[in-house]
Amino acid sequence: MATNLDRIDFEILAALQEEGRLSNKELAARVDLAPSTCLERVRKLHDEGVLEGYHAQVNPKALGIRLQAMIAVRLQKHSRDLVGEFRSYVLSLPEVLSTFHVTGEHDFLIHVAVRDAEHLRDLALDRFTTRPEVDQLETSLIFEHARTWQLPNLVERDDE
């Protein structure tokens, strides 16, 4: 991944995080570059793995999702292979939105989206507690979910 990002690169990243559907012409105007130069820089940011992709934000209710929850999972044993296999398994489940391998009382926090409480119960019982490496589950319903798509720029630069 690129480590030599300059002020213009950071401006491009900020603009695209704010509005991922900007045309190259609009983006170039925002960062005060010629469109051809802007396109070249965006391609470079993609090629170097700085820009990982673009995503549409969809209203969950449009897809039949009426309930979201966090499932905290404690594993019975810990090894790099076991953790990796469990993470891969969890990410293969269509209800899983994201997974976090964490420290503390639990080993994983898993954000899930389901139709209703019955679907959540079935997911927990059929997909998690049946796994031999799972020791304990704790489920918390999400009343409200909001997030920001704008990552903070924490890179220290010489020109500041």
* Domain housing 110: 60-142
Q: Are 23 and 69 in a shared domain? A: no
The two tokens of residue 132 are 């031999």
Rounded Cα gap, residues 110 and 107, in angstroms: 10
- To 10 degrees, what angle do helices 35-47 and 24-31 make? 100
Residues 71 and 124 sit within 8 Å (Cβ to Cβ): yes
Domain total in the chain? 2
Q: Confidence class of residue 24 from pLDDT cuts 50, 70 and 90?
A: very high
Tell me the β-bridge partners of 72.
109, 138
* pTM score of the predicted model: 0.83
Is residue 2 predicted with pLDDT exceeding 60?
no
Q: Are 41 and 79 in a shared domain? A: no
DSSP 113: E
Is residue 34 predicted with pLDDT exceeding 70?
yes
Domain of 68, CATH number, reads: 3.30.70.920
- Tens of pLDDT, residue by residue over 61-115, are 999 999 999 999 999 998 999 999 999 999 999 999 999 999 999 999 999 999 9
Q: Are 84 and 123 in a shared domain? A: yes
Q: Would residue 101 count as lying in a domain?
A: yes
Q: Are 77 and 101 in a shared domain? A: yes
Q: Are 30 and 92 in a shared domain? A: no
